Amino acid sequence: MPTFYGTEVTSRLMLGTAQYPSPAILAEAFRLSGAGIATVSVRREAGGDQTGQDFWALIRDLGVAVLPNTAGCYSAREAVTTAQMARELFDTNWIKLEVIGHADTLQPDLFGLVEAAAQLAEDGFEVFPYCTEDLVLCERLVEIGCKVLMPWGAPIGTGLGLNNIYGLRSLRAHFPDIPLVVDAGLGLPSHAAQAMEMGYDAVLLNTAVAKAGNPVAMARAFALAVEAGALAAGADPMDARDMAAPSTPVFGKAIL
């Protein structure tokens, strides 16, 4: 199982907590998925009122590690402030860092991301940066202290899967010892299995489960897909080839 900042988690599947039809469905989806980490937006609920307290109680009752995020932040300053609030609320140094640069695609602001990550790392945070598959960006993030990278598969909420296979494979090859998590854009369990077959350590998703017609069944499907993909990656799969090769040996075949 993957280890993030010295902490081994119980699953390669990470789930978000937004948009579920009901708290009961959210809880059941987590139970059947076996997800090891729940991501939570600090801005989604007000921690001080009753609604916020009920939400935090629900998250605690899931019995999984909590990864607060800075979803909805459009500047480094806003993201850093939100991260500080999250640390105080959840008593954790973990933070999924999002600095959004484009309102339509929700693509990360790469300059703001590096700026915020540097400040947070210096302040003792253990940063999980939501980024693209750009190698130069990722090298910079690692240099300033990020020990996990979370490149997108596709824009958040699109369900398009892995848009840049070459880039994601290159990232895995370039950082063999850094935990890599495909974050955002997955729509089908097959997308998650594909990421795991490429050697990624985990996947993070929300919309594909929460907005499915049956979120609980979809959560279970993703759990099985992640397990299958990880097993396949560990089984040393065959290389693709351009020419056909018979599966039945021709040696010893009778000549008629």
Q: Just list the catalytic residues.
A: 96
C-alpha to C-alpha distance for 206 and 31, rounded to whole angstroms? 15
- The pairing of strands 3-4 and 7-8 is antiparallel
Task: Return the closest-CA partner of residue 224 out of 34, 88, 43, 16.
Answer: 34
Residue 145, token pair as written in the block: 């202290």
Phi then psi for 239, rounded to 5 degrees? -80, 145
C-alpha torsion angle, residues 191, 194, 199, 203 (rounded to 10): 10
Task: Return the closest-CA partner of residue 82 out of 119, 115, 48, 43.
Answer: 43
C-alpha to C-alpha distance for 136 and 132, rounded to whole angstroms? 10
C-alpha to C-alpha distance for 94 and 128, rounded to whole angstroms? 7
